[in-house]
A = this chain, B = another copy of it.
């Protein structure tokens, strides 16, 4: 057997064994581990930062850009925030054992549906080393074992963090194999893990489009994935002016590099004269470049014509595509045609328009008079999130602890037969 294949199988088998043990632990035991992990992170800031320095030095040598280096960097403050995040995860309710629903059947059988962990999670991520801790905390809190595959840029940082994971798991009497780190940066290794559909229950890739496409193509197990966030704000005929300005600005500008930031502004033709110049001026005053349809272009000084591809682009920057639509139906049609079913918002004061938009826009989150930026596990009250799914299967939108679980049926009888 190929040594990488053997390595993957061996690691996955240990992970499977750890998952079986972990599923039987109490929520209290898992929370005690989380508290201990937070404490040790705070206690070991110095060795973590020393390891991180090795990665930063290598990254500088390899010519990583400033943004990449910043993502890679751990500081005492960032480690403190990471420890606090772990404590927040500890404070969340235990999803394992939660009774989802249940009742009694006419024949007297009591049937209840109870959450159980998914099992073994293969988590693939890129440079940010804090994800190592976040992912392990979320997976183990929800009773899952995790195989962590970090980026090669962060190899020293991840290894230092992994050591803390292992030591705190052992000290908490939890299976040490519950959080394993793939120690080879060989890309081929990932392929071997992706073939282990019998041992790994779900793969979660977090990174660029090429990573996610590769994982989708090769995985022999389910994948929780996140493609583009091409989010829209539609300003309806009846929109309140101030609300429209606030929501468009917030959706576009508050954090333009994230998936729930808006990329396209749609404006009802009857609202154009009243609202578009003001919204456009506010956007431009914040440095947003506007790429406009033929109707809006002459109305906005300093704007440029939109190419068709602009409406299909996740700009992830201070760039916004603008289109004037004839009707709410055309707005909904545009969102269906060009959007990515991530997050889409309407600003309106018309009840029928709100109802139509809610019913006909089939996105993970449909916002009525609220910023697209609210599509987020924390904002939804899920606590932490492991990602935002753009799939329809198993989990859609923000994935928190519950989305890391399956369920089983428990059927209690008194001798019933068919």
**Contacting pair A418 B254 (CB below 8 A):** yes
Indicate whether A363 reaches chain B with its CB closer than 8 angstroms: yes
Cα–Cα, bound, A359→B217 (Å): 36
A136 CB → nearest B CB, Å: 20
Residues of B contacting A396 in the complex (Cβ-Cβ under 8 angstroms): 406-408
Is the pair B105, A417 in contact by a Cβ cutoff of 8 Å? no
Whether B246 pairs with A392 at a CB distance below 8 angstroms is no
8 Å CB contact of A247 from B247, B254, B358, B417 = B417
User: Separation in Å of the A338 CB from the closest CB of chain B?
Assistant: 14
Q: Contact: B217 with A220, CB < 8 Å? A: yes
Q: Is A181 an interface residue (CB 8 A)?
A: no
Scan residues 30-58 of chain A and give those whose CB is less than 8 A from a CB of chain B.
none
A220–B393 Cα distance when bound, in Å, is 13
B-contacting 9-mer, from A6-14, A264-272, A314-322, A365-373: A365-373
| B-side contacts of A413, CB under 8 Å | 367-370, 374
For the complex, is A20 an interface residue (Cβ under 8 Å from B)?
Answer: yes
Interface residues of A in 124-159 (CB under 8 A from B): none
Is A229 an interface residue, CB under 8 A from the partner?
A: no
Shortest beta-carbon distance from A413 to chain B in Å: 3
A410 within 8 A of B: yes
Stretch at the interface among A69-77, A81-89, A293-301, A375-383: A375-383
Contact A246 B336 (CB under 8 A): no
The answer, yes or no, to whether A414 is at the interface (CB within 8 Å) is yes
Are A406 and B392 within 8 A (Cβ)?
yes
How does the 8 Å CB contact mask read for A245-264 relative to B, with 1 for contact and 0 for none? 01101100010000000000
Which residues from chain B contact A369 at a C-beta distance below 8 Å? 412-416
Among B20, B240, B368, B410, point to the contact of A412 (Cβ < 8 A).
B368
Kindly state whether residue A243 has any CB partner on chain B within 8 Å: yes
A408 contact set on B, CB distance < 8 A: 362-366, 396-397
Does B222 contact A379, Cβ atoms closer than 8 Å? no
Contact A366:B410 (CB < 8 A) given known A217-B220, A222-B222: yes
**Could you tell me which residues of chain A, from 289 to 318, have a CB within 8 Å of some CB in chain B?**
none
| A contact residues vs B (CB 8 Å cutoff) | 20, 23-24, 103, 105, 109, 111, 116, 118-119, 197, 201-202, 216-217, 220, 222, 240, 242-243, 246-247, 249-250, 254, 336, 354, 358-360, 362-371, 373-375, 379-381, 391-394, 396-397, 406-418
Could you list 13 further interchain pairs (A-B, Cβ under 8 angstroms) beyond the known A370-B416, A394-B394, A397-B409? Answer: A24-B359, A105-B380, A109-B379, A217-B220, A222-B222, A249-B417, A366-B410, A368-B410, A368-B413, A370-B411, A380-B409, A396-B408, A397-B408
